[in-house]
Each structure stands twice: as structure tokens, then as C-alpha cells.
Amino acid sequence: MMDLASHDWRGMNLRFMKREIYQTLDQAISPIMAVVKLLGTWLSPYSCKVIWALKLKGIPYEYIEEDLSNKSPMLLQYNPVHKKIPVLVHDGKPICESTVILRYIEETWPQNPLLPIDPYERAVALFWIKYADDKNPLIPKLYRTTGEELEQAAKECSEILGTIEEHGLIEGKKFFGGDEINMVDIAFCIVAHWLGVFEEVAGIKVFEPHKFPKLNSWAQNFKSVPVIKENLPDADKIFAVLKRRRETLLAPKSN
């Protein structure tokens, strides 16, 4: 890269000088200004996870809201396997699956780390992230089912909360990440925010504060973190959408 300060500018014509300067600046700036795009939807917890990670690390990005009933050609091109959001596009290269995206963000922008540096502590964090990833799809069953199926979903959900309460959270630790949130806290966001909405839609209570006191404290703390608080979809808005969905799903099928 050219050293502008010590370059000999004498005798150089203006046009040539401008070109040299711009090329040099471009080389210096482009890794920082490399374009980051996020394809997501406003009410998806998976989409929010990526937004939080980008904001916690101070990474500027362009957000594109997808209409999942009318997926954009861009989404279909970037995620041909699953055709789902979120998709992160960095420098034209797509990355899919929210946990894969978060790991990529962590490895590409190391500031404000979201995973422990110690390999063992990191393995434990990854265990809980995997646990969250495996169990998260079960929790929305609450708003999608009724009767016996709902009872079963509630039971499963209660067991999940019990496991986190008993084995995941350490007494006295404010977050899974210690004093600051990390990727594990982010992974359990459905429990902190969306679960309450599912419960309201279904008319059932599973996350009772007296049954899961540590988890309850954690959820309040998590939602108070400024980046989370300022970037959490409105519960009433989510409620309206899911209530309609529930009605459609449970409507008696006509022959």
C-alpha cells in the first residue's frame, strides 16, 4: 500500500494524484466498510439474535425485511437449501442458520466477545447453545396446539425450563455470560420474551416465576440490557400475529 505522506508528488499530474489517493484510501477502508446485509423478519427470534450480535459488536449493517409468504429472489438465491431467514451476507457471501451466523460474527469481529475465551468454558457455553437450538422449536407448539397436544407441549416446555433452572443457571451469576450477556443468553431469548406471548395466545401459564426463580430473574435482567431492550419486537404486535395464526391452524377443516 502506498505511503501517501512520504510519496513524491512533484511533477505528478492532478488526475494521476487523485487516482493514487483514492486507490490507497479504498484499500485501507474496504475491510472496515465491507457491506453487511441481514435478511430477516421483525418478529423472528432467530432474526433478532443476529441483530443483537451485530449491535453488541458495533457492526453497521443493512437490514432487509423479508415477506415469508412471498420470498425474495435474493433469499432463495442465498439460502437455497432451507429458504429461511435469517441470512447474513458479508461481502456478497451468504451465511445461513442463526447459530452458524453468530459463530461467524464472533470469529470475524472479535471485539466485545460473545463466547468465553477459555476452551473448556467455551465448550460448556456451546453445549447450552446447542441445548437451546434443539429445544427452541418445541416451545412455539404452545400457541399451535390445543387439548391433549397442548398439555403435552406445556409439559415439555416445563421440563425445558426446569433443566435450565437446575443445571444451566448458576446462583449469583446475573447472566449465562457472567456480568455481561453472551451467546448463551441470546440463544435462550425465546424463553425470555416470546414464551410469554405464546402463553397468552394459548391461555396457559407454564413459566411461573415461583417455580423457576433463577430463570425469572435472568429473563428480567436479559430484557433490561439496552441493546436487547431497544431491539425487542413489541409483545402486543407479536400477539396479534400469532393469535391469527392460531385461529387459522385450529379452524375446523372443511371437506
Partner 1 sequence: MEEANKVRLHGTWRSPYAKRVELALKLKGIAFEYVEEDLNNKSPSLIQFNPVYKKVPVLVHNGNPIAESLCIIEYIDETWKIGPRLLPQDPYRRAKVRFWASFIHQQLYETMLTVMKTAGEAQEKAINQLLEKLQVLEEGMQEFYPDEVPSITAQNMGILEILICCLLGPYKLQEQVLGIQIINPETTPRIFSWLTAINQVPLVKDSAPAEEKTLALLKFVRDIALKSSSA
- The answer to the question of residue 171 lying near partner 1 (CB under 8 A) is no
What is the rounded distance in angstroms from the CA atom of residue 169 to the CA atom of residue 176?
6
The C-alpha cell that represents 23 in the structure block = 486507490
Residue from 93, 155, 205, 244 that binds partner 1 (CB under 8 A)? Answer: 93
Asked if residue 146 binds partner 1 (CB under 8 A), the reply is: no
95 near partner 1, judged by CB under 8 A: yes
In this structure, what C-alpha cell is assigned to residue 231?
431491539
Q: Which of 5, 81, 170, 251 binds partner 1 (CB under 8 A)?
A: 81
Nearest approach, Cβ of residue 108 and partner 1 (Å)? 5
Helices and strands (H and E) in the chain: how many? 13, 4
**Contacts (Cβ under 8 Å, ≥6 apart) of 110:** none
Nearest to 56 by CA among 157, 189, 239: 189
Q: Between 91 and 234, whose beta carbon lies closer to partner 1?
A: 91
Complex with partner 1: residue 187 or 232, whichever CB lies closer: 187
Stretch that binds partner 1, among 64-72, 95-103, 210-218, 222-230 (CB under 8 A): 95-103
CB of 55 to partner 1, least distance (A): 19
What is the per-residue DSSP string for 127-159? HHHHHHHHHGGGTTHHHH--HHHHHHHHHHHHH
Binding site for partner 1 (CB under 8 A): 81, 90, 93, 95-97, 99-101, 103-104, 107-108, 119-120, 122-124, 126-127, 130-131, 163, 167
